Structure 1
Amino acid sequence: MSTEVWDCVTRAPFGEQASVFTIVRDGDRFTGSNVAEIGELPVVDGRIEGDRLVWKMPTRKPMPMTLVGKAVIEGDRLTGTVTMGAFGKAEMTGTRRG
């Protein structure tokens, strides 16, 4: 297993949200968390497909829903989207720490 920490920004319809996205890789799966001002969201059902990540994050704020993240890693850069139910999609970018 290996751990990566990313400083991310998600551009949601209600504003930008800075977060720390932690990925704990275990083969072609991963767990971790995304910690932002609104709280900590656990990563569930994380899958690694080459340089692509797909994951879910259950949340209760602003209402109960499951966010779905998809991203591509190129070197120390992460780019992708987070689908937020009725709130649509938000762009997510990140830079690897370390």
Structure 2
Amino acid sequence: MPTKGTNPLPVEGIWDLTLLTPIDRIEAEAEFTRRDGVLVGTARGAGEEVSLTELVLDGDRLTWKQAITRPLRLNLGFVVTVDGDTLSGTSRAGRLPASKVSGVRRRAQTGEDR
């Protein structure tokens, strides 16, 4: 789905995410890129990699859905607010309570960082 809204913030890059679920703290990463002008994404965590669907950036509000199989088979919906190199919001799986989500964009490595 194309980005909508006016002057959306750039979100491209790799983000280190933390989800605080009722069961556990989960670390994951999300990568956002543009392909033919359309925002696309992939999430990695718990030994699996999944494509993000229904990805929409509207101003500073970013939403997406993803299906996971670990630690449980769930369909997750994310609603986050992007503020520069940080994001925060919630993730929800059906009727389960919402989980807090926070994230930090990884800095691009330069020759000096290596």
- Aligned identity (percent) is 24
Cα distance between partner residues in 1 of 2:100 and 2:28: 13
Residues 59 and 66 in structure 1, CA contact (< 8 A), matched pair in contact too:
yes
- The alignment of Structure 1 onto Structure 2 pairs a total of residues equal to 95
Aligned to 1:37: 46
Q: Retained in 2: the 8 A contact 1:31–1:45?
A: no
Contact (CA 8 Å) 1:69, 1:80: kept in 2 or not?
Answer: yes
Equivalent pair of 1:57/1:67 in contact (CA under 8 Å): yes
Moved over 6 A (4+): none
Q: Using the alignment, how far apart are the partners of 1:91 and 1:75 within structure 2?
A: 19
Structure 1 stretches lacking a partner, 5+ long: none
The C-alpha deviation readout for 1:32-57, integer Å capped at 9, x for no partner, is: 11111252232011001011101110
Q: How far apart are residue 18 of structure 1 and its match?
A: 0.5
Q: CA RMSD in A?
A: 1.9
Q: Can you list the C-alpha shifts for 1:43-88, whole angstroms capped at 9, x where unaligned?
A: 011001011101110223413x421001111011110111112332
TM-score (normalizing by structure 1): 0.84
How far apart in 2 are the matches of 1:25 and 1:48? Answer: 12
- State the partner residue of 1:9: 18
Larger mean Cα displacement after TM superposition, 40-49 or 81-90 = 81-90
Task: Check whether the contact 1:13–1:87 (CA below 8 A) recurs between aligned residues.
Answer: no
Preserved contact between residue 4 and residue 23 of structure 1 (Cα < 8 Å)? yes
Q: Does 1:90 align with 2:99?
A: yes
Aligned-partner Cα distance in 1 for 2:32–2:47: 19
More strand by share: 1
Using the alignment, how far apart are the partners of 2:39 and 2:62 within structure 1?
9
